Amino acid sequence: MEFDTSKTALFLLLCFFLVDGSSSQRSTYIIHMDKPSMPKAFSSHHFWYSSILKSVNQAPNPNPKLLYVYDHAFHGFSVSMSETELELLKASPGFVSAYPDSAVTPDTTRTPDFLSLSPASGIWPASGYGNGVIIGVIDTGIWPENPSFSDRGIAGPAPVKWRGVCSGGDGFNSSLCNKKIIGARYFNQGIKASDPTSAVPDTARDDDGHGSHVSSTAAGNFVEGVSFFGYARGTARGVAPRARLAVYKALWGGSGVSSDILAAIDQAVADGVDIISISLGAQEIELYESPLSIASFGAREKGILVCMSAGNRGPSVRTIRSGIPWAVIVAAGTVDRWFAGNLTLGDGKTITGWTTFPASAIVRNVPVVYNQSLSGCTAAELAEAPENTIIVCHTTIGNTDFDTVMGALSNSNVKAAIIIAEETSIFRFNTFPYPGVVITAAQGQQVADYALASAAPTASIDFKQTILGKEPRAAPALSDDSSRGPGRSYEGILKPDLMAPGVLILAAFHPHLTAARIGRNIDLATDYNLLSGTSMACPHISGAAALLKAAHPDWSPAAIQSALMTTANPLDNTKQPIREQDGSVASPLGIGSGHVDPNRALDPGLVYDASVQDLVNLVCSMNFTRNQTQTIIRSSYSCSNPSSDLNYPSFVALIRAAEIGRTLTRTFRRRVTNVGNGAAAYKVAVEAPVNTTAVVRPQTLVFGKNYESKSYSLTIRYKADIEIQHREGAVIWSDQTGKYRVRSPIMVSAAADNFE
């Protein structure tokens, strides 16, 4: 039989036009299913999945190809299918989530792995990696060409709720926006007005690197093979890698003015973002004067969760300037990653030291100079040091700080340095311009013993080592520069709320700015930089909130915040209480509820919800004038029921100066909503602060169904003294199955008026 090839070609051409090429193109997706939803008619979930795929098939395409069925790490399957078929599948009973298949490799930023984010189970697959959620970032702009902002693997256009535009201005053509960066705007009228002579460009392009770093930490796409000059090599990815980004540049050269910040937040709310991430500091001003406070209240009114950095003014208490009750305030902690240089002594002993020297310097069998009388490594001492040697420096001698030693080394002729130091701040910064390693005093004694015992001591150093795990330090630890509570603008609610990774986070950066140095005059650039601070911690929480929003689109901002807080972990990876970097135990004034655990937050059991009216009642209790109050809540609300007892997942009892010497009783009332699986019973355990009694009534909460709410009270009785200025405890609700543990910290604290 012969075929008319011209007619066949015409038929195929018609098919091409009748079937949308983009909708019929096939990709591989991983589908997460609710296995208990399987109809009883099917003998196995394999047959159930096959039946679903047949029902969504779009002729004349072949049936979707089932690749794998998963029934151990999680329930679901992988399949090759079109976008049209995927949309039909989403309407099937039992469907939970879907996300594109992608390569999984070791993590560079480390934090997704440190947070136990996995493509096989937990919040990533349940949320589709944050797909459909929009994070608005208020910062220094974005470098759109960075690979972290590629839209590879992101399916579909911007969410229908999106009302923003790509208006990037000079050097930022609208074509630079994509399915990842769906919006870009800039706000500079305020800073131009403050200094008319300044040359502020009209662009959303990042001029600092900070905004790109923050944006990619929250929602950067998968990028393989990145590192910081060989350290932390692997694949970079944000906490919510399929979330969309809307960028609002309101900082210029690392600074800005309140009017621009307020305009940026206002526009983000109008554009329809779901989460707002703000990694910037503010002056110590009242809540009714702070643009961050006012704008974030308006955002919460529109159902938008606002995340803010705590600030980098620690380790003293009362260094959080903006204790905004309706924003999530984030502290910074370390991760379980150590950048190292292996120091090998001539006798074969190997010592692991700290370094981020950005090159593979050749330091092999070099003579070691150790002189007990010349151990400060001052410029004068180094001028006398022999050339092409490794000198041993002790920064505690003469109080010589690390930066001074590095500057002196860069002007010397020595080959490398072994620096004995105990400064924890060294481990927050990537600046290491001269070949060397930092070791502890105990390790330094080993070096001294060897050098003094050997007639010709030598050593070698291997750079670019990355160590993961519990050694040499437990993680997380609270960064010493992370600001501590109580919040100065409002002490009645515990701030910070929780802690997230914020020390040496690898993420996108400005490719034309200095990221590292060698010696005095060699500046190095990179697309990915290691930065530290609460600015880096904040976008981790923004990303985690985006994942929760994608998994639970009906949850309020308060419910999302509650889930993050009550499931946060107060223990480190050795199962001991989280510590300061100096080794002392950290308090909730530093870590809030603890270190974020996104997978547990996905299914928290109970949440403390709060309406906008609840926040209004809180503002009305703050003894502001009518105008001050209306500045925050506007005229839409009245102060008919003022109350400082917000339904919040933490408790603060203040000791005022006038109350010292008295015995005080404070009662808190809380309401929790069951978001677990159906009926449940919870029992309470109370960890009372020192010199305090704490009683919860009732001690058991019984829920007959999902989304049912129950109330309880916490009454604490305590002596109003400030010998122990801050005492901590916790209320912990656990269900009868042992699956859920809902923890809320208690703080009894001396109020600021005790120190005036």
The kind and range of the H/E element at 292 are helix 291-301
The distance from CA 71 to its chain's CA centroid, rounded to whole angstroms, is: 31
Cβ(177)–Cβ(265) below 8 Å:
no
For β-strands 692-697 and 663-674, DSSP reports them as: unpaired
By three-state DSSP, how is residue 534 classified? helix
CA distance 653 to 726: 10
Provide CB contacts within 8 A for 519, sequence distance 6+: 410, 433, 434
In the chain, the amino acid numbered 179 is K
Helices 612-620, 626-633: crossing angle, 10 deg rounding: 160
Candidates 97, 279, 535, 650; catalytic one: 535
CA distance 618 to 589: 21
Q: Which pair of structure tokens corresponds to residue 46?
A: 């394999």
Distance from first CA to last CA of the chain, Å, rounded?
100
CA distance 239 to 220: 8
Cβ(541)–Cβ(328) below 8 Å:
yes
Torsions phi, psi for 405 (to 5 deg): -60, -45
Neighbour count for residue 554 (Cβ, 10 Å)? 7
Candidates 82, 113, 127, 139; catalytic one: 139
Give which of 653, 643, 568 is closest to 610, Cα–Cα.
643
Q: Which pair of structure tokens corresponds to residue 135?
A: 């994070």
Give which of 84, 86, 85 is closest to 32, Cα–Cα.
86
The kind and range of the H/E element at 383 are helix 379-383
Q: Which pair of structure tokens corresponds to residue 209?
A: 């690197």
Query: Phi/psi class of residue 452: alpha, beta or left (left: φ > 0; alpha: ψ in -120 to 50)?
Result: alpha
Cβ(523)–Cβ(319) below 8 Å:
no
Cis peptide before 39, with omega less than 30 degrees from 0? no
Cβ(527)–Cβ(509) below 8 Å:
yes
Cβ(542)–Cβ(564) below 8 Å:
no
Exposure string of 232-245, with b = 16+ CB inside 10 Å and e = fewer, is: bbbbbbbbbbbbbb
- DSSP bridge pairs for 276: 136, 306
Candidates 210, 213, 552, 595; catalytic one: 210
CA angle 286, 292, 298 (to 5 degrees): 105
Q: What is the DSSP letter of 689?
A: P
What's the number of CA atoms in the CB half-sphere (13 Å) around residue 57? 15
Q: Which pair of structure tokens corresponds to residue 65?
A: 């190809």
Active site residue 210: yes
CA distance 425 to 431: 11
The distance from CA 78 to its chain's CA centroid, rounded to whole angstroms, is: 29
Active site residue 535: yes
Sheet architecture: strand order including 606-607: 606-607, 663-674, 709-719, 692-697
Active site residue 32: no
Residues classed as catalytic: 139, 210, 535
